Amino acid sequence: MATFLRYTNTSVTGFQLKNPQNPFYLHSHSQTRTLSTQKRLVTPMAALSITPTTNISHTFRKLKDQGKVAFIPYITAGDPDLSTTAQALKMLDSYGSDVIELGVPFSDPIQDGPVIQASATRSLARGTNFNAIMSMLKEVVPQLSCPIVLFSYLNPILKHGVEKFMHNIMDVGVHGLVVPDAPFEVTESLRQEAVKNKIELALLTTPTTPTDRMKDIVEASEGFVYLVSSVGVTGVRESVNEQVPTLLREIREATSKPVAVGFGLSKPEHLKKVAEWGADGVIVGSAIVKVLGEAKCPKEGLRELETFIKSLKSALL
């Protein structure tokens, strides 16, 4: 049976800041059969309501009503291994992620910089494959309160068959999909199958996208609009591209759909800035992948991840 835990807004803030030990942390590191056993400590201090995860659009709508900016971390499935990914997903969820992006590793990720490339290579070297990711998600998604957006290059999707792929990811509870090397022109057929399976296909727009084209992209994008903050591949950057406010403004003139900004964001200051500029969500990828994937061991990676997430999340409060 799927059970979902959802924090109410007032409790979340207080809880996380005051309690270093999260009583809702669902299982311990030491357990290898982590997917099937859960430890739950319910304290009377938190107000809990159990609701099913909702889709991406709905999540953004709720946050907007609350005047909040979505915190969207990205991790690569299977780096360092799927069991750690499962734990990381739960941790990211419990520390206040609003949407989580999960990357399907690909052998030739042309949109990704060295950090995420390396994470894909590590994951594939361990034998991560689509079916294994789906099995993991089938167990884990019911334990999450925030929706998952899958991030996959086009070839693996085509290999599985678009219809089968969409059906499979829907089946394990995924709500959204981003395909970085499918240009707008070909997304219509992807979208038709996605819609049938209630998957929201979010499209990317970038600083080099001409305005007319951007308008078509945001019109067709579902769930949210992914604004790539800079001209380049994924990877940590020192500062945020100063073009972002202008790009956000242009997008707002074209659509009322939520806009999440990603690529390069790695520090609390970045998130604060982007939130002030009016983004509806901030996506942090390489910085998180680096912490998790390059740690001495998974246990330490998860520990460092916890600290990092808290510091990032605090910038949005």
Partner 1 sequence: MAAAASGSASTTCKTHRLIASPLPKPYSTSSTQLPFKFTSRATAAPTSISCSLTRDSAALQMDDKNDNGAFPVLPRPDSFGRFGKYGGKYVPETLMHALAELEAAFHALANDEEFQKELNGILKDYVGRETPLYFAERLTEHYKRPNGEGPHVYLKREDLNHTGAHKINNAVAQALLAKKLGKKRIIAETGAGQHGVATATVCARFGLQCIIYMGAQDMERQALNVFRMRLLGAEVRPVHSGTATLKDATSEAIRDWVTNVETTHYILGSVAGPHPYPMMVRDFHKVIGRETRKQALEKWGGKPDVLVACVGGGSNAMGLFHEFVDDKDVRLIGVEAAGFGLDSGKHAATLTKGEVGVLHGAMSYLLQDDDGQIIEPHSISAGLDYPGVGPEHSFLKDMGRAEYYSITDEEALEAFKRLSRLEGIIPALETSHALAYLEKLCPTLPDGAKVVLNCSGRGDKDVQTAIKHLKL
* Residues that are catalytic: 101, 112
Closest CB 120 distance from partner 1, rounded Å: 9
| Site pattern 121..140 for partner 1 (x: CB under 8 A) | x--x----xx----------
Smallest gap from Cβ 108 to partner 1, in A, equals 5
C-alpha count within 13 angstroms, C-beta hemisphere, residue 51:
12
Q: Is residue 233 a contact residue for partner 1 (CB under 8 A)?
A: yes
d(CA 24, CA 215) in angstroms, rounded, equals 42
* Binders of partner 1 in range 82-111 (CB under 8 A): 106-111
Nearer to partner 1, 147 or 285 (CB): 285
Rounded CA separation 5/95 (Å): 12
Distance in Å from the first CA to the final CA of the chain: 33
Beta strands in 20-175 (DSSP E): 48-49, 70-76, 100-103, 148-151
Contact call for residues 116 and 123 (beta carbons, < 8 A)? no
Note whether 114 binds partner 1 by CB under 8 A: yes
Q: CB-wise, 2 or 158, nearer to partner 1?
A: 158
115, amino acid identity: V
Tell me which of 34, 119, 209, 286 binds partner 1, using CB under 8 A.
Answer: 209
Angle at 86 between CA 82 and CA 89, to 5 degrees: 130
Residue whose CB is less far from partner 1, 12 or 172: 172
Where along the sequence are the contacts to partner 1 (CB under 8 A)?
106-114, 117-118, 121, 124, 129-130, 153-164, 180-186, 188-190, 192-193, 203-210, 212-213, 216-217, 228, 231-233
